[in-house]
Chain A
């Protein structure tokens, strides 16, 4: 049973990362292939593990997860163990993570071939893969946190891979600080639950009983963390800026895995993370983010930024699904990983042909690069909600779950309606920006000096491969196996404000009513945009946003707002004060101690006059004093 040795899955890429970091310059490109191999083996193992898990769950009486634990240390009342916990959810996510990571690694062998620091890049991508697998497979909250933080640092290192240009390092720092800020809440939330349960083991934490306040506080703190990591409103500013990193990095980290880790964690800790208060908050945040990000995607000029904002919006769909206590969120995570990775890698192919990621420099690329054209079309279609493709199925599932949550009363009615309305509006806008991208990249005529050509095999093969899951995984997930896979451990029922919560429920079905609504919404969005484009094919269809387009393109200037609110006071007033205190008070104290010691020595020096008769006089006085003292006392 592979699940017993699940620790192998993160261990292999981690060792590869270490090896490549240490021996990188000597290994050269061979180091990159070592990284590819170290991702290939976990991919095979995780697919095998998923099949075994499905088999086990279909035939077993209980759906308890397979836990392999080794105690490491005892910190006071808490015992820390390195444990893996493999249930259906973890097995599924492992497959998603490893497949996408493998595609990215293979793609990078061609994309990053001419990069001088390719070996360190491959090492960090491997390390990131290992960290994400640790998060997915961890059975212990502390290990989850370790993986979580390592992902953050790898994201920083990879965004700033081309650190020769300052904007890249700025983007990396911005990403790191914003996610770190969210991680404060995350760590605090985990601590609240661990202390409340008396252990950091996830099984214990899920099964313990907490006071109402603990649940609410802990769940809201956890929410803060996932909002930061998944770039939801109000911590969304870092993700579009993170596009400064290499495209395969964007595909892996900022589309398929790291940003989705928050979704996974909330689902994993659903009995304690989805309280009434946090579900409602999550619904609000998700709804706002959905529409906000979709609008921003519509206004972008840079292809990668469209995809970044689109990721934010789709993540909001996932969180909306979770807020409605259904498995639609996870289903959307799986399909989104496939088609967003596809889109990013295809964008890399387009950029390879055109030499830029700005859409103003693209056009007419449908001729001359058929592989990229087909794959990107499929990707955009599924993102935009073309009926029966993956994206359509899972988005539909989210809307469906909101509707049925409204009926069963699992969540507040207003929250369900909010999600429904936001979901439909976003579907309209999503279809619109997908069509806009498609038209601007592929329709019309190629600009002068651009020769459309397909990239090397190592780049186009992963892209082509990802086309298949992007199209069909959605339908695959509607099968009964998915619901069985995610059934969850029946022993982890935590009483929740009077409502008994038995984990995130339900599978994915395509219901006719909502299918029609989504299709209609997509048609409206796509159709409107197409008509606007046809009226003036050489102009940007997003001009329908009018004068606010520039404002929306800058993410509604929220990044600048944060700079004005937080960065400037800190950097221009608080930091110089701290520096002055450090110089005057602390350094002054240290230096002053030295100076006063020297001064005191100077005082004592006055007795050393060099006059021997003075010395003898002093000696005499001392002896007399001693003699008198001896006699008198």
Chain B
């Protein structure tokens, strides 16, 4: 058997790539892809631990199946949101969507 560290390192690397993608990419679809990457890394982690500890209930594998299902659903919703964003703004650059910002009140108002 291979050492446990190997799949964990792989998962860590994938996760970091995913983090980088979420934080640094402007394109919304790429951000979604990076999220998928992170979820994939999590799956690898789950399966590695499941195999290493010889879990009788196979909790890791079952949770990995859940993650896959949820990821699929989430991507569906996420792409719908991106579609709406494009329809409303004409662009899917995330850093242009600043509706949550709190602006300073205009000058002269208390």
Contact = CB atoms under 8 A, between A and B. Distances in A.
A610 B98 CA distance: 4
Given A616-B22, A616-B23, A617-B23, A611 B104 contact: no
B102 A608 contact: yes
Contacts of B19: 620
Task: Name A's interface SS.
Answer: helix
Contacts of A610: 97-102
Nearest to B19: A620
A326 to B, nearest CB: 73
Interface residues of A, number: 11
A116 interface: no
A596 to B, nearest CB: 14
Contact of B104 (A602, A612, A616, A620): A602
B22 A609 contact: no
A610 B101 CA distance: 4
Contacts of B23: 613, 616-617, 620
B65 to A, nearest CB: 26
A605 interface: yes
A608 B100 CA distance: 8
Interface string B1-40: 0000000000000000001001110000000000000000
Interface size range on B against A: 10 to 19
A612 B99 CA distance: 10
B32 to A, nearest CB: 13
A611 B95 contact: yes
Given A620-B19, A620-B23, A613 B95 contact: yes
Contacts of B70: none
B104 A605 contact: yes
Nearest to A595: B110
A620 B23 CA distance: 10
Contact of B102 (A605, A611, A612, A616): A605
Contacts of A602: 104
A616 B23 CA distance: 7
A602 B109 CA distance: 14
A613 B94 CA distance: 8
Contacts of B95: 611, 613
A605 B97 CA distance: 18
Interface of A: 602, 605, 608-613, 616-617, 620
25 contacts: A602-B104, A605-B102, A608-B100, A608-B102, A609-B98, A609-B101, A610-B97, A610-B99, A610-B100, A610-B101, A610-B102, A611-B95, A611-B98, A611-B101, A612-B94, A612-B97, A613-B22, A613-B23, A613-B24, A613-B94, A613-B95, A616-B22, A616-B23, A617-B23, A620-B23
Given A610-B99, A610-B100, 8 more contacts: A608-B102, A609-B101, A610-B98, A611-B95, A612-B94, A612-B100, A613-B95, A616-B22
